[in-house]
Amino acid sequence: MTSWNLAGLRTHQALSRYSTYEIGGEARFVGTPHSVEQLQELLELAYRRGISPVFFGGGSNLLFPDQPDPDALFLTTREMVEVKLEGDRLYVSAGVPMSMLAVIGYGLGIADFDFTFLLPGTVGGGIYMNAKYFDRHISDTLVKVHYIDLQQPGTVQTISREECEFGYKQSVFQHNRTRWFIVGAEFKLSSIAQAADLTAIPELVALQEGKLPSHQLPEFASHFITWLKTKEGLGGQDAALAPMRKIIEDRVGKMHFSYPSCGSVFKNNYSVGEPIGKLADRLNLKGVQRGNARISPVHGNVIQNVGGATAADVIELIRHVQDAFDRNYGFVPEPEVVIVEGQATLLQQE
């Protein structure tokens, strides 16, 4: 009989601890592997026990159910944080925080990743969604992605950037979300000093020693903002930090980190010509509340957990927005947030 005593396996865990929404009921099984090998062992256990794996990264773009499926193994890459530098290629495990890419880039003297500063979530999740900030995407410098296919869990497979089918918040991994699990990626750096040394980046060393940034948005933002202010204190107005300072002004000014949330709830519909947030503003949706979930009073495409919100509260607000858009604009906005089903969750999508 297969033992339940495996490295990285935790039982009876509140999923709210693994999500920036801070929402989610108690899961019977949660897997937090540190390596691909541990992940494969957990997948083998799930297969032998007839348990379905549910994959996620940092939990920044999903909504966990109030009543999780007891026959599911929730698997996160959050503790898979290996980073390697070989020439101009940077290998990053899927669990490395997106914002850490900006820190690494600064440490290497390049601006390739400065746009990832204050983006919550992990590199794996960012690739899954083709994360962006203004006109820059995580896929811009990507070369290849490494993943596990549940049909061949013992083998790590590789796919090129061209095969990833990247688009606006789209990738091939979304079409295979129940089968493919990203474990790492390789990026091509624009330039690199011959003496570049990852061990000279103390924040990365701390990450690999297990000092992970909090999943709670206020603490997460504070962690990286403090890093930037410390660097400014050491070197004055370093021009390399300027793009990150602008990001702080933009995102903090929009209250992105004031309450638990998943950031933008809906994908923009560019055929309409205006962002979802502005269209929501026109319908006076800002500040609308259901239970303890509220549409941000500052940004109409953000739903906040103002204290003890449930998944049901958030879903009710999502439906409310979809109905209002359907009535007034003739289209139903597509959720960007990934809804993890528990006892059956139905959403309008197109």
Shared domain for 184 and 100, answered yes or no, is yes
Which pLDDT score is estimated for 235?
62
The answer to the question of residue 94 being in a domain is yes
Shared domain for 91 and 213, answered yes or no, is yes
Shared domain for 216 and 107, answered yes or no, is yes
**Does pLDDT of 267 surpass 50?**
yes
pLDDT in tens, 194-208: 778 999 999 999 999
The answer to the question of residue 310 being in a domain is yes
Shared domain for 56 and 125, answered yes or no, is no
Q: Report the alpha-carbon distance of residue 169 to residue 270 in Å, rounded.
A: 12
Selecting among 16, 60, 93, 264, the annotated active-site residue is 264
pLDDT in tens, 97-130: 999 999 999 999 999 999 999 999 999 999 999 9
Shared domain for 208 and 279, answered yes or no, is no
Q: Report the alpha-carbon distance of residue 125 to residue 146 in Å, rounded.
A: 13
Please list, in sequence order, all residues whose beta carbon lies within 8 angstroms of the beta carbon of residue 190, skipping any fewer than 6 positions away.
Answer: 110, 111, 112, 141
Helix locations, the chain, DSSP H: 36-49, 98-108, 123-129, 172-175, 202-208, 217-235, 242-253, 276-282, 311-329
Which pLDDT score is estimated for 343?
46
Q: Which of 42, 76, 110 is the last residue of a domain?
A: 76
Selecting among 316, 336, 341, 350, the annotated active-site residue is 336
Shared domain for 104 and 159, answered yes or no, is yes
**Catalytic annotation on 264?**
yes
The answer to the question of residue 2 being in a domain is no
The answer to the question of residue 215 being in a domain is yes
Mean pLDDT, the chain, rounded, equals 92
Which pLDDT score is estimated for 350?
26
Which pLDDT score is estimated for 234?
73
| Structural domain boundaries enclosing 166 | 83-220
**Catalytic annotation on 336?**
yes
Q: Report the alpha-carbon distance of residue 341 to residue 335 in Å, rounded.
A: 14
The answer to the question of residue 346 being in a domain is no
Shared domain for 95 and 57, answered yes or no, is no
Number of neighbouring beta carbons within 10 Å of residue 348: 14
**Does pLDDT of 263 surpass 70?**
yes
Confidence of residue 157 (pLDDT cuts 50, 70, 90): very high
The answer to whether 112 touches 5, Cβ cutoff 8 Å, is no
Residue 242 tokens read as 């300027």
Shared domain for 47 and 92, answered yes or no, is no
Q: Report the alpha-carbon distance of residue 229 to residue 237 in Å, rounded.
A: 10
**Does pLDDT of 153 surpass 70?**
yes
Q: Which helix (H) or strand (E) holds 135?
A: none
Number of neighbouring beta carbons within 10 Å of residue 102: 26
The structural domain count of the chain equals 3
